[in-house]
Chain A
Amino acid sequence: MTTPFLSHFTPSLMSHEALEAIFVQRESFVTRLVDLSRASVLTPAKHYTLLIGPRGIGKTHLIALLYHRLAAMADLRDHLCIAWLREDEWGVTSFLELLLRIFTALSEEYKDNALAEQVTALYDLPPRWISTSSDSNRSLSRMASSIRVPIIGAWGPCLKPCASRSSVRRFC
């Protein structure tokens, strides 16, 4: 029998099984998050959740579990894309950059080479286009509309270093 890898600081590196095995107390809460995410995918209602808590309380663990549980649901597979931005997503300094990271995460998660090429092309835009962002926003809109299922984004505290918080959001 092999010993599961346990990380003190990086739950995203741990397996689903290990995360479940060391998860205590918050089963009803994570079930609630899964229910709301499912409702966002399967019904017209759209739910948005902001998880707030002190460092080390288990926000990233919760998000990692949410990811694994949603990804394992066969009935959602054709209706949902999950963009999971890990704990180390440093350097996001604008909304445009956040959108680019989301598309990058999607292209990696779903091995979508065409999407990866579109993201790369956006990084090659002249700086002025990025700063005014209208043109790049249009390109991003086209990319988003080419993904014909809802996207759930989950990201950790590094996107907003001044606050200890994690977000689960639904786009589209």
Chain B
Amino acid sequence: MKANPGGYIPPQEVIGRDQLIERLWRILGRQSLLLTAERRMGKTSILRKMAAESPADMRVIFHELEHINSPLEFVQLVYDDVSAYLSQSRRTAQRVRAFLQGLKGMELGGLVKFPDILAPEWKALLTNTIDDLLDQRGHTLLFLWDEMPMMLGNIQRYHGEHLAEDLLNTLRALRQTYPDFRMVYTGSIGLHHVINSLKRAGYANAPTNDMAKVDVPPLAPQDAQDLAQRLIAGEAIQTKTPAQLAPTIAAAVDYCPYYIHHIVEELCQRVPDTPITDIVDECLMASNDPWDLRHYRDRIATYYLPDEQPFVLSLLDILATASTPLSFDALFDRLKAHIATEDSETVRDVLRLLHDDHYLTRSSDGTWQFRFALIQRWWRLERGLGT
């Protein structure tokens, strides 16, 4: 097995996710799922593994939605997936055909592109498409939709909040209409930002409150070491301390699979026994940002309101340099040295968002800290807060 940071990992090479996937299948037996994960945690690999190794009674269709900009494009994608699926059993999407013939006198050829004049009909097209697929009973139908929040953000930006809201509500209605219909939404930057934005625009629905929410954690330490060991063996990395190398790599990057791949990739280019801490330091500091960590800073401007951003930056600065986790009161006191505020409720709201966005974690005693020591260290370095 070769190091492959950011590339396509085949399902059989996805290590340490079997228990999580078993849990997800158990949940999907009863309801749909919102799968959240910090970026680079391997959620897309998990989805692909689920699609490749699904139970016999489950029909699974996987698609990334990042590039979708309108409800009609979304329906087109679902229709294409459904048509491809039906063609395997020499069937066609009869209900969609009948709907279009009744509506505009349209005929569907072999390859179909819905014309723009059908944009107002996207909801009926979607429902008919799903009807076509669910005609055959006895199977549960599962759509794995990766980067759902990005699609909703695009629709919101180009077509307005009402259409994003309408799409979420339509999908919720489909879930409630068909007992054998399941969806998995995933996205690294949370759906909560989209839903919060819809709420600010006056939409008060909770369009995912029927879905279970599961967070993809880093690998368990033993699994992270197993992954590192397989990569070390696959790349024939030479070392004088074979027993220590895999555990050192796994711990140095908080057991995140993507960074483990990166470290082993770096080891391939280095002299034997280059200290792992040196490699991590270089990657955190490198001008070309090989681990794409600047995203943690850049996305704040995209997803947080202008009024929230100073709070976000100050809270992260404080926690990046704190030697121990901080209680809310201690954090708020220190914040007041950065920003003149008595608005503790806004601070609580921002902390909640930072928690949902995987920057921070809260312990059972209520104290706050960075979720990943690696990101905490990068934040210190990036912001010039000392080492």
B113 & A47 in contact (Cβ 8 Å cutoff): no
- Across the interface, A138 reaches (CB within 8 A) one of B9, B13, B113, B288, namely B113
Please name all residues of chain B whose beta carbon is closer than 8 Å to the beta carbon of A93 when the two chains form the complex: none
Please name all residues of chain A whose beta carbon is closer than 8 Å to the beta carbon of B113 when the two chains form the complex: 134-135, 138
Please name all residues of chain B whose beta carbon is closer than 8 Å to the beta carbon of A46 when the two chains form the complex: 4, 7-8
The B-contacting residues of A in range 19-45, CB under 8 angstroms, are: 28-29, 32, 35-36, 39, 43-45
Q: A134-B113, A135-B113, A138-B111 are in contact. Are A48 and B269 (CB under 8 A)?
A: no
- Across the interface, A29 reaches (CB within 8 A) one of B4, B8, B111, B269, namely B269
Please name all residues of chain A whose beta carbon is closer than 8 Å to the beta carbon of B6 when the two chains form the complex: 48
Please name all residues of chain A whose beta carbon is closer than 8 Å to the beta carbon of B10 when the two chains form the complex: 43-45
Asked if B362 is at the interface of the complex by the 8 Å CB criterion, the answer is no
Could you tell me the distance between the alpha carbons of A138 and B77 in the complex, rounded to whole angstroms? Answer: 13
The A-contacting residues of B in range 1-55, CB under 8 angstroms, are: 1-2, 4, 6-10, 12-13
Q: A52-B288, A135-B113, A138-B113 are in contact. Are A45 and B269 (CB under 8 A)?
A: no
A47 & B7 in contact (Cβ 8 Å cutoff): yes
Could you tell me the distance between the alpha carbons of A107 and B206 in the complex, rounded to whole angstroms? Answer: 53
B8 & A45 in contact (Cβ 8 Å cutoff): yes
The A-contacting residues of B in range 329-369, CB under 8 angstroms, are: none
Asked if B268 is at the interface of the complex by the 8 Å CB criterion, the answer is yes
Please name all residues of chain B whose beta carbon is closer than 8 Å to the beta carbon of A35 when the two chains form the complex: 2
A-contact 0/1 string along B268-286, CB 8 Å cutoff: 1100000000000000000
Shortest beta-carbon distance, B113 to chain A, in Å?
Answer: 5
Shortest beta-carbon distance, B271 to chain A, in Å?
Answer: 11
The B-contacting residues of A in range 32-80, CB under 8 angstroms, are: 32, 35-36, 39, 43-48, 52
Interface of B is mostly: loop
Shortest beta-carbon distance, A139 to chain B, in Å?
Answer: 9
A45 & B9 in contact (Cβ 8 Å cutoff): yes
Could you tell me the distance between the alpha carbons of A43 and B12 in the complex, rounded to whole angstroms? Answer: 11
Bin chain A's interface residue count: 10 to 19
Please name all residues of chain A whose beta carbon is closer than 8 Å to the beta carbon of B1 when the two chains form the complex: 45
Shortest beta-carbon distance, A30 to chain B, in Å?
Answer: 12
Shortest beta-carbon distance, B284 to chain A, in Å?
Answer: 17
Could you tell me the distance between the alpha carbons of A15 and B193 in the complex, rounded to whole angstroms? Answer: 55
A-contact 0/1 string along B200-216, CB 8 Å cutoff: 00000000000000000
Most B CB within 10 A of own CB, among A28, A32, A47, A138 = A47
B4 & A47 in contact (Cβ 8 Å cutoff): yes
Please name all residues of chain A whose beta carbon is closer than 8 Å to the beta carbon of B288 when the two chains form the complex: 52
A45 & B13 in contact (Cβ 8 Å cutoff): yes
Please name all residues of chain B whose beta carbon is closer than 8 Å to the beta carbon of A29 when the two chains form the complex: 269
Could you tell me the distance between the alpha carbons of A135 and B111 in the complex, rounded to whole angstroms? Answer: 9
For A142, give the chain B residue with the smallest CB separation. B111
B-contact 0/1 string along A124-139, CB 8 Å cutoff: 0000000000110010
A32 & B268 in contact (Cβ 8 Å cutoff): yes
Please name all residues of chain A whose beta carbon is closer than 8 Å to the beta carbon of B269 when the two chains form the complex: 28-29, 32
Could you tell me the distance between the alpha carbons of A1 and B6 in the complex, rounded to whole angstroms? Answer: 47
Could you tell me the distance between the alpha carbons of A28 and B267 in the complex, rounded to whole angstroms? Answer: 12
Q: A36-B2, A135-B113 are in contact. Are A45 and B268 (CB under 8 A)?
A: no
Please name all residues of chain B whose beta carbon is closer than 8 Å to the beta carbon of A45 when the two chains form the complex: 1-2, 4, 7-10, 13
For A48, give the chain B residue with the smallest CB separation. B7
Could you tell me the distance between the alpha carbons of A46 and B48 in the complex, rounded to whole angstroms? Answer: 14
- Across the interface, B2 reaches (CB within 8 A) one of A39, A48, A135, namely A39
The B-contacting residues of A in range 115-166, CB under 8 angstroms, are: 134-135, 138
Could you tell me the distance between the alpha carbons of A48 and B265 in the complex, rounded to whole angstroms? Answer: 13
Could you tell me the distance between the alpha carbons of A26 and B13 in the complex, rounded to whole angstroms? Answer: 30
Please name all residues of chain A whose beta carbon is closer than 8 Å to the beta carbon of B268 when the two chains form the complex: 32
Most B CB within 10 A of own CB, among A36, A45, A134, A135 = A45
The B-contacting residues of A in range 77-120, CB under 8 angstroms, are: none
Please name all residues of chain B whose beta carbon is closer than 8 Å to the beta carbon of A48 when the two chains form the complex: 6-7
Could you tell me the distance between the alpha carbons of A138 and B9 in the complex, rounded to whole angstroms? Answer: 26
Please name all residues of chain A whose beta carbon is closer than 8 Å to the beta carbon of B111 when the two chains form the complex: 138
Please name all residues of chain B whose beta carbon is closer than 8 Å to the beta carbon of A44 when the two chains form the complex: 8, 10, 12-13
Could you tell me the distance between the alpha carbons of A14 and B6 in the complex, rounded to whole angstroms? Answer: 33
Please name all residues of chain B whose beta carbon is closer than 8 Å to the beta carbon of A135 when the two chains form the complex: 113
Shortest beta-carbon distance, A73 to chain B, in Å?
Answer: 17
For A36, give the chain B residue with the smallest CB separation. B2
Shortest beta-carbon distance, A86 to chain B, in Å?
Answer: 25
Could you tell me the distance between the alpha carbons of A74 and B153 in the complex, rounded to whole angstroms? Answer: 48
12 contacts between A and B (CB under 8 A): A29-B269, A32-B269, A45-B2, A45-B4, A45-B8, A45-B9, A45-B10, A45-B13, A47-B7, A135-B113, A138-B111, A138-B113
Further contacts, 16 of them, CB under 8 A, given A29-B269, A47-B7, A138-B113 = A28-B269, A35-B2, A39-B2, A43-B10, A44-B10, A44-B12, A45-B2, A45-B4, A45-B7, A45-B10, A46-B7, A46-B8, A47-B4, A48-B7, A52-B288, A135-B113
